[in-house]
Structure 1
Amino acid sequence: MMRVSLQGLVMARPHLSHFGIFVHDIDLIERFYTGVFGLVATDRGVGKTFRNQLVFLTGDPRQHHQLVLSGGRAPDSPSTVMQLSFMVDTLDELRATRDKALTAGAIALIGLNHGNAWSIYFNDPEGNKVEVYLDTPFHVPQPCGEPLNLEQDDADLLAETRALVETRPGFMPRADYIAELARTLD
């Protein structure tokens, strides 16, 4: 949607499309993200402007790339990534992604119940923090982060989450929150 300000200037609200990270070992990290997330490489090469080795990855045929891996991270430099977040559709997919990530070399895995989402966090093989999450049917103001036990069955986890959030200030069904936010963004 395009909005016009009082001065007649167009007010733009770009949407987030993709992200890129600097890596030490581009082949290792490409194998990790293609293996764990099923991303595919759409292109690769050395950039003309950014003179680094680049690999473009996507999991969506409508987007040439969702993640760009760039060589050139200094040998002893730590990751500066706060988190790279990926969304799944079901708890079974969240559990399966957890298992694939651990098998592929992810470390420091934790699970958090945010009330509005069930999330797992881990570090990829180069220490970049990755989140994989699934929205719940609830909204609760953030931050909220209680331990998440993915060994529970889905019904028990849903009941536990409802009990966690339903008495907190600002709790509402997710659909109501989306409608309210849509009015704010309009």
Structure 2
Amino acid sequence: MNSPASHRIQPEVIVNAPYIPNLSHCGIFCRDLAVMKNFYTGVFDMQETDRGVGGTFRYELVFLSGRDDQHHQLVLAGGRAPDAPSTVMQLSFKVRTIDHLREARRRALSLGATKMRGLNHGNALSIYCMDPEDNTVEVYLDTPWYVSQPHGDPLDLEDADDAIWAQTERAVRADPSFMPAQEWAARFVQRSTALRASRD
């Protein structure tokens, strides 16, 4: 959905920012998504923000968040076998610039990471790799746009920053669910206010 003011939304320009990765959200495999969603939304006041089956990750995903500035803090993924031990779907760290993604990639590869790849989620630019014990690690930064998740286009960090931002904006504007991130956040606040009122 295009907003009348959406043409004015631009990525934040950050110059000489320190490299400070921030652990942001995680995902876990589940046996019963309904039971797990009920637990986390009930205990931690999270809400479902999106749901779907990924194009490259062929399990149903349920995105949960308790904050209006984070699309998801916890991802519940189907596919855990009844007798499977606890597993980690991914550990995610948030950075502030595309150069920080490049720096994270450099450091991870130098310390034994494998299977490095980039994905453009529309609402975030991400790199993924396997740590030395084969746990999936994501490093990402937010964009100023929203599209429904899961969403994943190729991301090549060898491209210039301007080219990456331009490619991203073209892709998200072609998506029917597109809106500025600020608009998505305002809707989140409205839902949260209504939810709290219903519990009072």
Normalised by the length of structure 1, the TM-score is 0.58
Q: Provide the C-alpha distance between the structure 1 equivalents of 2:152 and 2:110, rounded to a whole number of angstroms.
A: 25
Hey, what does 1:13 align to over in structure 2?
44
Whether the aligned pair in 2 keeps the contact of 1:79 and 1:128 (CA below 8 Å) is no
Q: What letter matches 1:135 in structure 2?
A: D
Q: Against the structure 1 CA distance between its residues 126 and 95, is the aligned structure 2 distance closer, same or farther, given a 3 Å change threshold?
A: same
Q: Against the structure 1 CA distance between its residues 169 and 151, is the aligned structure 2 distance closer, same or farther, given a 3 Å change threshold?
A: same
Hey, what does 1:166 align to over in structure 2?
173
Q: Report Cα offsets for 1:74-111 as digits up to 9, x if no partner.
A: xxx99821000100011111110011000010001110
Q: Against the structure 1 CA distance between its residues 12 and 80, is the aligned structure 2 distance closer, same or farther, given a 3 Å change threshold?
A: closer
What secondary structure does 1:118 align onto?
A: strand
What secondary structure does 2:44 align onto?
A: coil
Aligned match for 2:137, one of 130, 142, 145: 130
Aligned match for 1:113, one of 97, 102, 120: 120
How many pairs align? 115
The structure showing larger relative contact order (alpha-carbon pairs under 8 Å, at least 6 residues apart) is 2
**TM-superposed deviation, 1:124:** 0.5
Correspondence 1:143 to 2:150:
yes
Q: Report Cα offsets for 1:146-166 as digits up to 9, x if no partner.
A: 110111111111110011110
Correspondence 1:177 to 2:184:
yes
**TM-superposed deviation, 1:13:** 3.4
Q: Provide the C-alpha distance between the structure 2 equivalents of 1:183 and 1:177, rounded to a whole number of angstroms.
A: 10
Q: Provide the C-alpha distance between the structure 1 equivalents of 2:106 and 2:146, rounded to a whole number of angstroms.
A: 27
Correspondence 1:99 to 2:130:
no
Q: Provide the C-alpha distance between the structure 1 equivalents of 2:143 and 2:156, rounded to a whole number of angstroms.
A: 15
Hey, what does 2:58 align to over in structure 1?
none
**Seq. identity, %:** 50
What secondary structure does 2:141 align onto?
A: strand
Whether the aligned pair in 2 keeps the contact of 1:79 and 1:127 (CA below 8 Å) is no
Q: Against the structure 1 CA distance between its residues 79 and 100, is the aligned structure 2 distance closer, same or farther, given a 3 Å change threshold?
A: farther
RMSD: 2.1
Q: Provide the C-alpha distance between the structure 2 equivalents of 1:106 and 1:14, rounded to a whole number of angstroms.
A: 35
Q: Provide the C-alpha distance between the structure 2 equivalents of 1:79 and 1:12, rounded to a whole number of angstroms.
A: 20
Normalised by the length of structure 2, the TM-score is 0.54
Hey, what does 1:80 align to over in structure 2?
87
User: Based on CA coordinates, which of the two structures has the bigger radius of gyration?
Assistant: 1
Q: What letter matches 1:94 in structure 2?
A: L
